[in-house]
Amino acid sequence: MATKTPYQRFIKNLKDAMEVLKLSPMEKKLLLEPQHNLKKSLSIKRDDGKNASFPAFRIQYNNARGPYKGGIRYHPEADEDEVKALAALMAVKTAVVGIPFGGAKGGIQCDPKTLSARELQELSRAYVRAFKEHLGPDIDIPAPDVNTTPAIMAWMRDEYEKLTRSYAPAMITGKPLSYDGSRGRDTATARGGFFILQELIEGEALDSKNLRVVVQGFGNAGATMANLLHGAGYTVVAVSDSHGGIYSEDGIDPVSIEKYKKKTGSVTGQYCKGSVCDTEKMKLDRVRQVSNEQLLELPCDILVPAALDNVITGKNASKIKAKIILELANGPTTPEADDILQKRKIKVIPDVLANAGGVTVSYFEWTQGRSGEQWTDDQVDRDLKRVILTAYKDVRREVHRRKIPYRQAAFILGVKRIVEAMRVRGWVSNG
Distance CA 152, CA 149 (A): 5
Q: Check 84, 93, 105, 385 and give the catalytic one.
A: 105
For the bound state, the minimum distance from the C-beta of residue 323 to ligand GLU, rounded and expressed in Å, comes to 25
For the bound state, the minimum distance from the C-beta of residue 392 to ligand GLU, rounded and expressed in Å, comes to 16
For the bound state, the minimum distance from the C-beta of residue 132 to ligand GLU, rounded and expressed in Å, comes to 18
Please report the beta strands in 295-388, taking only residues with DSSP state E, as ranges in sequence order.
302-305, 324-326, 347-349
Stretch that binds ligand GLU, among 205-213, 254-262, 268-276, 358-366 (CB under 6 A): 358-366
| Site map (CB under 6 A) of ligand GLU, residues 361-390, x = contact | -x----------------------------
Binding residue (CB under 6 A) for ligand GLU from 63, 109, 227, 330: 330
324 beta partners: 302, 347
DSSP H or E segment with residue 246: strand 244-247
**Residues 271-296: b if buried by 16+ CB within 10 A, e if exposed:** bbeeeebeeeebeeeebbbbebebbb
Torsion-angle region of residue 266: left (phi > 0), alpha (psi -120 to 50) or beta? beta
CB closer to ligand GLU, 301 vs 351: 351
Binding residue (CB under 6 A) for ligand GLU from 110, 143, 172, 353: 143
240 beta partners: 216, 245
Q: Are 129 and 164 in contact (CB under 8 A)?
A: no
At position 218, the amino acid (one-letter code) is F
Distance CA 204, CA 84 (A): 36
Binding residue (CB under 6 A) for ligand GLU from 3, 63, 173, 268: 173
359 touching ligand GLU, by CB under 6 A: yes
Torsion angle, alpha carbons of 116, 118, 120, 126, to 10: -150
- Provide the pairing of β-strand 212-216 with 288-290: unpaired
For the bound state, the minimum distance from the C-beta of residue 127 to ligand GLU, rounded and expressed in Å, comes to 15
Which phi and psi (to 5°) does residue 247 adopt?
-135, 135
Stretch that binds ligand GLU, among 32-40, 211-219, 352-360, 367-375 (CB under 6 A): 352-360
Footprint (CB under 6 A) of ligand GLU, residues 68-97: 69-71
183 touching ligand GLU, by CB under 6 A: no
Footprint (CB under 6 A) of ligand GLU, residues 203-232: none
Residue nearest to ligand GLU (CB): 71
Binding residue (CB under 6 A) for ligand GLU from 13, 60, 187, 355: 355
CB closer to ligand GLU, 69 vs 407: 69
For the bound state, the minimum distance from the C-beta of residue 312 to ligand GLU, rounded and expressed in Å, comes to 18
Please report the beta strands in 82-128, taking only residues with DSSP state E, as ranges in sequence order.
103-108
For the bound state, the minimum distance from the C-beta of residue 271 to ligand GLU, rounded and expressed in Å, comes to 32
331 touching ligand GLU, by CB under 6 A: no
145 touching ligand GLU, by CB under 6 A: yes
C-alpha pair distances (Å), 230 with each of 209, 211, 245, 251, 383:
10, 11, 17, 9, 23
Tell me, yes or no, if 393 is annotated catalytic: no
- Residues with catalytic annotation? 105
Residues that bind ligand GLU (CB under 6 A): 69-71, 143, 145, 173-174, 330, 355, 358-359, 362
